[in-house]
């Protein structure tokens, strides 16, 4: 196994442990990583550690300080955007912006800034009920969002 690959994967693991950043295997078995300082999503080859592509470019769709990335049951990417208290949605294959019903045009806002008290979203996970659950760091809340409507579940 190449030394460069081990160093790169060690860096991803350290970032995950220290910063709570998430790395996620994609459908193809590659690794998707949300960039905190780069505000992007990069796809890596899981075997070699080489960059395959930057599927979401820096600050695309208003992404700011990406924290976690999830592949939804619909095949799209959901990225918590801590820097502007939003959750972004991107097409799972092309990386195109896919805003929700309340998201601003030209953005990828699936859950707009501050919705339901969302403040500093960190982790986003899909529950068995199909809802997206998002933790809010700055006020210790968890909000639930319907995947189908993009609206908060109260």
What DSSP string describes 34-82?
E-TTT--EEEE-TTT--EEEEEE-TTGGG--SEEEEEE-TTS-EEEEEG
List the chain domain ranges: 3-116
Write the CATH number of the domain with boundaries 3-116. Answer: 2.40.10.500
Encode pLDDT of 66-86 as tens digits: 999 999 999 999 999 999 999
pTM recorded for the entire structure: 0.83
Nearest CA to 90 among 105, 100, 81, 77? Answer: 77
Encode pLDDT of 97-135 as tens digits: 999 988 888 999 999 998 989 999 999 999 999 999 999
Residues 6 or more apart in contact with residue 114 via CB below 8 angstroms: 85
Q: Say if residues 108 and 88 touch (Cβ distance below 8 Å).
A: yes
Q: Say if residues 56 and 62 touch (Cβ distance below 8 Å).
A: no
């Amino acid at each position: 196994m190449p030394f460069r690959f081990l160093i790169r994967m060690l860096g991803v693991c350290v970032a995950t442990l220290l910063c709570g950043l998430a790395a996620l295997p994609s459908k193809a078995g590659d690794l998707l990583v949300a960039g905190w300082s780069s505000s992007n999503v990069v796809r890596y080859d899981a075997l070699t550690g080489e960059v395959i592509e930057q599927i979401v470019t820096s600050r695309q769709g208003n992404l700011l300080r990406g924290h976690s990335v999830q592949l939804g049951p619909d095949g799209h990417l959901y990225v918590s955007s801590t820097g502007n208290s939003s959750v972004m949605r991107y097409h799972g294959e092309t990386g195109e912006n896919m805003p929700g019903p309340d998201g601003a045009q030209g953005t990828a806002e699936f859950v707009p800034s501050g919705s339901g008290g969302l403040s500093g979203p960190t982790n986003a996970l899909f529950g068995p009920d199909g809802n997206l659950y998002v933790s809010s760091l700055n006020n210790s809340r968890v909000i639930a969002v319907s995947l189908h409507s993009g609206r908060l579940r109260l």
